[in-house]
Structure 1
Amino acid sequence: MSEIAPTERAAPNVMDTTPGNQAATFRNQDQVWPVRAIRCGEAVRALPPHGRSLSGLTYRLGDLTLNVDDYVARHRTAGLLILKGGEIALERYGMGNVTESLWTGFAATTALTGTLAGAALHDGAIGSLDDPCDFYLPELLGSAYEGVTIRNLLRMCSGVAWREDYDNDARSDAWRLGRAMARRRPGAVLDLLCHLPRVHPQGAIFNHSTGDSCVLAAVVAAATGRPLADYLAERVWGPGGMEADGHWQLEWEDGLELGGFGVSARLRDMGRFGLLMLEDGEARDGRRVLPRGWRELAGRPDSEATAFGALSPGDPGGYGYHWWATPPTPGAHAGVFAVIGAFGQFVYINPGDQVVAAIQSAWRKPQDAAATAETVTLLRAAVRALRQAP
């Protein structure tokens, strides 16, 4: 059980908080929305201490030399976990969090949704990633999503219109999604998505879209015939050796999980999810829960639209299957991929150095380029330090 005081209350709107109630809101989304439990299994994956501690880690930022405490304080960090070879090199908490705290992941949930698509492919519930999504979800027939393949949903290249911003007006599709959720009406989210127009041929243009992730979630749920939280428990939470139940926000009471956000979990369990991806979907007991080679498929671009440097002007990154891909950087970031959620949520995977990091934060704005850049600097310093023998 969490040691957080039970009297703290979440704000009604996760996007509209004060500095004083933001952490309580991120910890307690089950006070605001209906959720479905993600049950952990019986066997917990141990995370022993690594031989080299990063407690004294420093990094350079301009003319400043900063340490871990500085990072935690500067960026309202609720949890910072760095694993090397499955062992804890650094673990810090702030913002009132403890090891037992659950924290909402925002768009970090998209990586879990994409992973469940891989699990469904491995299980045979999905025959091919090139199947049209309406084959599994006929409700999409007649919408702009008709004919869009599961692969292009994973790439966020559906070609369906979506404005992914947080402007509090009707021009923002994210805002309209929030309004649909607030209705607590069965089917309200899918109704919204089915009325979106097509603006590009599928596969031609990358557009980061919570809508695509929500459609993907509905497709996986239809293909497997299972609630996504139950399927996640079976294919990720149990095999990954998670230590505690999490929960997933629902469209309405007993309704569909929202594929673009809404999973709340402990910091260590998000780290264990990163380890399952690092190990290419092979659980500690030898069970394979993802197709062989899924790590490289999910973590690297595989199309012109998602290639390194093609996403937006000035951005060298690329996109895999619901993961951001980092271009190879000599000596630092070969093969790295990550998922990034609003307000500073990260799961970072570095296959070459066997490093996984999970970060939970309460930034005061959804996107912060300076904070993201400093996070990358911290992680690069950690990777370099861990290359030294303990």
Structure 2
Amino acid sequence: MLHSDHSSIAERRRVQAVTCASALVLSLIACSSNADSTKPYLHAQEPIGDVETMYNGKLSEDMAVNTFRNIDRLFPVRTIKAAGHPFPLPRSGQPLGPVAFDFKGKQYNLNDYVTLNHVTGLLVLKDGKIVTERYEKGNTADTRWMSMSVAKSITSTLVGAALQDGSIKSLDDKVTNYLPSLAGSGYEQATVRQVLAMRSGVKWSEKYADPTSDRRMMLKLQIAQVPGSALKYMATRPSIATPGTLTNYSTGETQVLGQLVSAATGKPLANYLSEKIWAPYGMQSDANWWLDGPNGNEVGGSGISATLEDYGRFGQFVLSGGKAGDMQVLPKDWMSFVSTTTGADAAYGDFASMWWPAWTEASKADKAFTAAGIFGQYVYINPTHNVVIVVWQAQTKSTGGEVIDDMVAFDAITKAAQ
């Protein structure tokens, strides 16, 4: 991580600057909300489905659209406050060029991708400027769309923020240093780094459509709305491997991580996200985050709803190396893992610190990576070409509903944005 060789005078000045910046952010949050906060939400009166029907893949496409843009009606939420000074996303003078690509022997264009993959929102940023932005199915720039597992990447980013500000002392600290309630559980020997990599060794089944899986059990606990019940459930999961030896994709692991960040910082995740990123970077609108019960804990692995442009701003924040204005929010090398798919770091699997490294040859060459959520959401980041792509989809199945490999489309879109 970062090493400091500043003099004591320089350090005092740095602390003063950070303190002043933090005070400004808190003042902005307290005194200013986004300009549209008093407007009725456009989609608030639409009929929506329920969360179990959604996970069972039984929603119609139209009902999926309504539900995905109204997820704050499914569970209680905590607001992620914006600060009223949006980071500008100017329109590029060079709009997106023609998008054309081959997939499985067939030729496709951008409209084909939007139609076949049920895309309801698409934002492409090149050098921080909008080269294309489009909305489908009645969505608008004010629509808030669900994140599902895109939230995992945001939660993991908050680990970086907590490490940078000293709330988390080391990624090699034991999880139980921050969550003593997990003492004696499968997490007894696991470190923060191992949970971040989903390599705790704790048993977990992520099958979304299986009502007996651990993932569905966590959903049932969320429906029951008893604060703290998800972490208690994680404490019952047995260890099946030595920590650090087995990668196992687990939404439960992200719940542990999110509550660890809250415990380390002494703040709810939504508040910490607002303080560290949402307000100082300049998101335009307030967002929401699901809770496990009234005034409870944020669901670390899903349940953020935000606008298309603010997801794009989050991508730009990550692309910038984790800086908000002059503040270095993340350790400078925080995202270096995403370009490593061989060597020692390969032991942490394809899902690297809760981001997905790209999987096509072109995007791997560009060291691209993405946040991704079931039912089809992406925040794709290509550091080689300085491109961010945000996609919303209205898939009716949790996984496997896409016709075109999204990463193949992202390669073509990136090429057309040059």
The alignment status of 1:194 with 2:235, answered yes or no, reads yes
Corresponding residue number in structure 1 for 2:48: 10
The alignment status of 1:357 with 2:352, answered yes or no, reads no
**Deviation for aligned residue 1:87:** 0.6
Corresponding residue number in structure 2 for 1:94: 136
Q: Check whether the contact 1:218–1:256 (CA below 8 A) recurs between aligned residues.
A: yes
Corresponding residue number in structure 1 for 2:21: none
The sequence identity of aligned pairs, in percent, is 35
**Deviation for aligned residue 1:154:** 0.8
**Deviation for aligned residue 1:386:** 2.5
Corresponding residue number in structure 1 for 2:398: 366
Corresponding residue number in structure 2 for 1:152: 194
- Write out per-residue CA displacement over residues 49-82 of structure 1, whole angstroms, 9 at most, x where no aligned residue: 2232126423223443322222111111111111
Corresponding residue number in structure 2 for 1:41: 83
**Deviation for aligned residue 1:306:** 4.2
Q: Check whether the contact 1:299–1:324 (CA below 8 A) recurs between aligned residues.
A: no
**Deviation for aligned residue 1:298:** 5.7
Distance 2:332 2:318 in 1: 11
**Deviation for aligned residue 1:192:** 0.9
Distance 1:367 1:328 in 2: 19
Corresponding residue number in structure 2 for 1:315: none
The alignment status of 1:341 with 2:370, answered yes or no, reads no
Corresponding residue number in structure 1 for 2:413: 382
Distance 2:341 2:172 in 1: 16
Distance 1:154 1:270 in 2: 22
Q: Check whether the contact 2:205–2:214 (CA below 8 A) recurs between aligned residues.
A: yes
Distance 2:318 2:384 in 1: 13
Q: Within 5 Å, which residues of 2 pair with 1:111-150?
A: 111-150=153-192
**Deviation for aligned residue 1:364:** 1.6
Which sections of structure 1, spanning at least 5 residues, go unmatched?
312-317
Q: Check whether the contact 2:163–2:170 (CA below 8 A) recurs between aligned residues.
A: yes
> Does the residue aligned with 1:169 lie in a helix, a strand or coil?
coil
**Deviation for aligned residue 1:320:** 1.8
- Structure 2: which amino acid aligns with 1:249? W
- Structure 2: which amino acid aligns with 1:40? A
Q: Within 5 Å, which residues of 2 pair with 1:196-275?
A: 196-275=237-316
Q: Within 5 Å, which residues of 2 pair with 1:291-302?
A: 291-297=331-337, 300=340
Q: Check whether the contact 2:117–2:402 (CA below 8 A) recurs between aligned residues.
A: no
**Deviation for aligned residue 1:286:** 1.5
Q: Check whether the contact 1:298–1:322 (CA below 8 A) recurs between aligned residues.
A: no
- The 1:293/1:251 distance shift into structure 2, 3 A limit, reads same
The alignment status of 1:323 with 2:363, answered yes or no, reads no
Distance 1:353 1:343 in 2: 27
Distance 1:325 1:175 in 2: 26
Which sections of structure 2, spanning at least 5 residues, go unmatched?
1-38
The range that moved more, 220-229 or 43-52, is 43-52
Q: Check whether the contact 1:205–1:305 (CA below 8 A) recurs between aligned residues.
A: no
Distance 1:299 1:256 in 2: 32
Corresponding residue number in structure 2 for 1:314: none
- The 1:186/1:327 distance shift into structure 2, 3 A limit, reads closer
- The 1:162/1:108 distance shift into structure 2, 3 A limit, reads same
The alignment status of 1:25 with 2:67, answered yes or no, reads yes
The alignment status of 1:84 with 2:116, answered yes or no, reads no
**Equivalent residue in structure 1 for 2:328, among 270, 288, 297:** 288
Q: Check whether the contact 2:338–2:357 (CA below 8 A) recurs between aligned residues.
A: no
Q: Check whether the contact 2:215–2:251 (CA below 8 A) recurs between aligned residues.
A: yes
- Structure 2: which amino acid aligns with 1:11? G
Distance 2:275 2:342 in 1: 28
More helix by share: 2
TM-score w.r.t. length of structure 1: 0.91
- Write out per-residue CA displacement over residues 55-113 of structure 1, whole angstroms, 9 at most, x where no aligned residue: 64232234433222221111111111111111111211112211110011100000000
- Structure 2: which amino acid aligns with 1:182? I
**Deviation for aligned residue 1:5:** 4.0
**Deviation for aligned residue 1:326:** 2.7
Q: Check whether the contact 1:80–1:91 (CA below 8 A) recurs between aligned residues.
A: yes
Distance 2:99 2:133 in 1: 12
> Does the residue aligned with 2:62 lie in a helix, a strand or coil?
coil
Distance 1:176 1:153 in 2: 20
Distance 1:237 1:91 in 2: 21
Kindly name which structure, 1 or 2, has the bigger radius of gyration based on alpha carbons: 2
> Does the residue aligned with 1:90 lie in a helix, a strand or coil?
strand
Corresponding residue number in structure 1 for 2:317: 276
> Does the residue aligned with 1:239 lie in a helix, a strand or coil?
helix
Q: Check whether the contact 2:358–2:407 (CA below 8 A) recurs between aligned residues.
A: no
Distance 1:63 1:178 in 2: 40
- Structure 2: which amino acid aligns with 1:184? Q
Count of equivalent residues? 376
CA RMSD across the alignment = 2.0
Q: Check whether the contact 2:362–2:411 (CA below 8 A) recurs between aligned residues.
A: no
Distance 1:200 1:69 in 2: 46
- Structure 2: which amino acid aligns with 1:377? V
